[in-house]
Amino acid sequence: MVKGSEKLNDDLILKIIKRIGILSIFIMGFSLILFKESKPIILGYIFGVLITILCFKLLDISIQKAVKLPPRRASAYATGQYFIRYIIYGLVLAVAAKADYLNLGATALGLLSIKIVIVLSSIFKKSL
């Protein structure tokens, strides 16, 4: 991969993460206003957001490595990384379901935050 495209990729990832931060502030603020017992909701959301940001970065690293591999190995590597990320998501949801101090719905919303940010960015026609 060319160095310039890695810089562009890093800028794009940072822009998405910043937008997730802005969205998170709004969601946590609304949670404080709307819910009497908002602590589990906010903690669950933060837990989901942090995990999804880490998995998003893991996806970036996986893609950068996969493009350098021969096609057969790249396919196997990408598939393995795909399953690893979904196992992580499953474990996060299982932990949120078991823990009394985390709200499962808020954790799921946090895990979806990257997708929400990307879709909203395309709806409002802002370039990522």
Q: What is the DSSP string of 85-113?
A: HHHHHHHHHHHHHH-TTS-HHHHHHHHTH
**Cβ atoms of 106 and 12 closer than 8 Å:** no
- CA 37/CA 60 separation, integer angstroms: 36
Q: Residue 124 — very low, low, confident or very high, per pLDDT cuts 50/70/90?
A: confident
- Indicate whether 106 belongs to any domain: yes
In sequence order, which residues have a C-beta less than 8 Å from that of residue 87 and are 6 or more positions away? none
In this structure, is residue 60 part of a structural domain?
yes
Q: What is the mean pLDDT of the chain?
A: 90
Q: From its phi and psi, is residue 125 left (phi > 0), alpha (psi between -120 and 50) or beta? A: left
Q: Which residue has the tokens 């709004």?
A: 26
Per-residue pLDDT averaged across 3-15, rounded? Answer: 75
Q: State whether residue 126 is helix, strand or coil.
A: coil
In a domain, 62, yes or no: yes
Residue 13 has pLDDT above 50, yes or no: yes
Q: Which of 9-13, 63-67, 103-107, 119-123 reaches the highest mean pLDDT?
A: 103-107
Domain count, the chain: 1
Does 109 map to a domain? yes
Query: Structure tokens of 40?
Result: 């589990």
* 48 falls within a domain: yes
Q: Residue type for 86, please?
A: Y
- The pLDDT of residue 128 is above 80: no
Position 128 in a domain:
no
Crossing angle of helices 71-98 and 39-66, in 10° steps, is 170
Rounded to a whole number, what is the largest CA-CA distance in the chain? Answer: 55
Parent domain of 38: 3-123
Q: Kindly state whether residue 89 falls inside one of the protein's structural domains.
A: yes
Asked whether residue 29 is domain-assigned, the answer is yes
Q: pTM of the predicted model, to two decimals?
A: 0.86
